[in-house]
Chain A
Amino acid sequence: MKYILYDIESKDFFETLGALNVNEYTLINAAAPVAKCTGCFKCWLKNPGTCAFSDKMQHIGTKLLNSHEIIIICKGLYGGFSANIKRIIDRVIPGVLPFFVKKNKELHHKQRYKNNPEIKVIFYNGDEMSEKEREQAENLISAVALNFHSEKHQVVFAGCPQDAIKEVQTWTC
């Protein structure tokens, strides 16, 4: 499975994205309202592997961490994900175990599923991001990839959403 997460509400954007040959990708609109992670740990302890909030993102951790490729089209905010995308990223936590493993001389969560998705992130407001924010974005995506046991990741800064779609096109062709 492959996923594209995007945080733009515009219908045009969805149609342009849908018009690409992305049949093998499942599109996830992060702008749709879903519950936010409250750090309750029930996804690790009460109902292991499943988020406590029973909405359409309940199994997102399992879906993304069992996928081959995750493409995130996102507005860069303070050198990180937008709040909408972060809402989904926070809920990926049930996909890993609460226990620890040492990786790169640091502790990280153990894998629940033996899978290493490739993570590609496009920040579509790259031109508005400062040099420091870009540097932070690259460091952040490396850290997220490490925590989600991704062995390959890529960060791209696009000037506008349309440029981001062009980039996605080169990846999905």
Chain B
Amino acid sequence: MDVLILSTSPRKSFSTSLYFSKILKLFLAGHNVEIILLRSAFDYNRAIRQLDKIDVLVFATPVYVDSVPSTTLEYLEKMEQYITAKKYKFSVYTIANCGFYEGNQCRLALKTYELWCERADVKFLGGVGIGSGVMLGFVRILPLIGLAITAIQLMIQAVVLCFENTFSFPLLFAGFFPANFVIQTALWILFTLGAFVHIFNLRTSIIKKRNHVCQYTTAWFCPRCLFVCMASLYWFFRALFIHGVMPWTLFRKDKEYVDSLCK
């Protein structure tokens, strides 16, 4: 079976939609699956050249203000006309992810694709709405963070042994357990398990070409209150360490414009 996954996130790096696309491709091993990032006219032309030979088209999309990003809308409009003219008949599934906790906040974005399918006269066979998208996009690097902390712990231990003039590899690893790596990997798997399970279910529907009634999920083993706390900390740390912005600055007003209003 030929499957084309269109990852429609306009983001240049670290896209959660692309991450979920790759997971679906992994689950569809054995089938002819191609992922295209729909970000430019070049990508669009590459995508439409594939449409005549595919059985299934999967959109992996972020949710921007309750719907699909404006860039995607432009391409959808063009693609609708192209498909209608060519009278292609393939099935369409969608994986939508939103930054909010509740997966069902993707419902309107999924509905947009359903309505697009009606206009393009192709079959919409459902999809998955995944909440906590930004969080799930981030937690994928937890195993790497765990690995880095473990490596630092080992280096510190090696330096201590060198100072004591007792360094040897058996001694360095004696009684050592990479607890940090194991914990971080476990957290990544636990939080993302819901997305994995739902994407796997979608993969089964794709293979059987059956209707997959839209289903919603979010970060598993993470109650809403924990999500809110972790999300706030995430924004504070990201602003501080990546942009050098202090936490209280995040609450500031758009001064330039507010000043102009006062004048």
- Chain A interface (Cβ < 8 Å from any Cβ of B): 1, 36-42, 44-46, 48-50, 59, 61-63, 66, 77-84, 86-87, 89-90, 92-95, 97-100, 102, 106-108, 112-113, 130, 132-133, 136, 139-140, 143-144, 147
Cα of A91 to Cα of B128 in the assembled complex, Å: 26
Whether the Cβ atoms of A59 and B257 lie closer than 8 Å is yes
Find chain B residues with CB under 8 A from A48 CB. 239, 245, 249-252
Segment with Cβ contacts to A, from B21-29, B58-66, B141-149? B58-66
Picked from A92, A95, A98, A136, the residue with its CB within 8 Å of the CB of B112 is A136
Q: Given A45-B245, A78-B115, does the pair A61, B254 have CB atoms closer than 8 Å?
A: yes
Whether the Cβ atoms of A77 and B108 lie closer than 8 Å is no
Apart from A62-B254, A147-B65, what 13 extra A-B contacts exist at CB < 8 Å? A39-B10, A45-B242, A48-B239, A59-B254, A80-B108, A81-B73, A83-B70, A89-B65, A90-B70, A98-B250, A102-B224, A136-B108, A139-B108
- Chain B interface (Cβ < 8 Å from any Cβ of A): 9-12, 62, 64-71, 73-74, 76-77, 100-102, 105, 108, 111-113, 115-116, 118-119, 224, 227-228, 231-232, 235, 238-239, 242-243, 245, 249-258, 261
Whether the Cβ atoms of A38 and B11 lie closer than 8 Å is yes
Interface contacts (Cβ under 8 Å), in number, total 151
Cα of A113 to Cα of B89 in the assembled complex, Å: 48
Q: Given A90-B64, A90-B65, A136-B115, does the pair A77, B77 have CB atoms closer than 8 Å?
A: yes
Cα of A148 to Cα of B50 in the assembled complex, Å: 39
In terms of DSSP, what is the predominant structure of the interface of chain A? mixed
Whether the Cβ atoms of B250 and A62 lie closer than 8 Å is no
Closest chain-B Cβ to A45's Cβ sits at a distance in Å of: 4
Can you list 15 A-B contacts (CB < 8 A)? Answer: A37-B64, A38-B11, A39-B62, A44-B250, A45-B238, A50-B256, A59-B256, A78-B73, A79-B111, A90-B65, A93-B65, A94-B254, A97-B251, A108-B100, A139-B111
Picked from B12, B100, B105, B251, the residue with its CB within 8 Å of the CB of A38 is B12
Whether the Cβ atoms of A44 and B235 lie closer than 8 Å is yes
Q: Given A62-B258, A83-B74, does the pair A106, B64 have CB atoms closer than 8 Å?
A: no
Cα of A99 to Cα of B231 in the assembled complex, Å: 7
Find chain B residues with CB under 8 A from A1 CB. 261
Find chain B residues with CB under 8 A from A93 CB. 65
Picked from A89, A133, A144, the residue with its CB within 8 Å of the CB of B115 is A133
Find chain A residues with CB under 8 A from B71 CB. 36
Q: Which residue of A lies closest to B101 (CB)?
A: A107
Whether the Cβ atoms of B66 and A112 lie closer than 8 Å is no
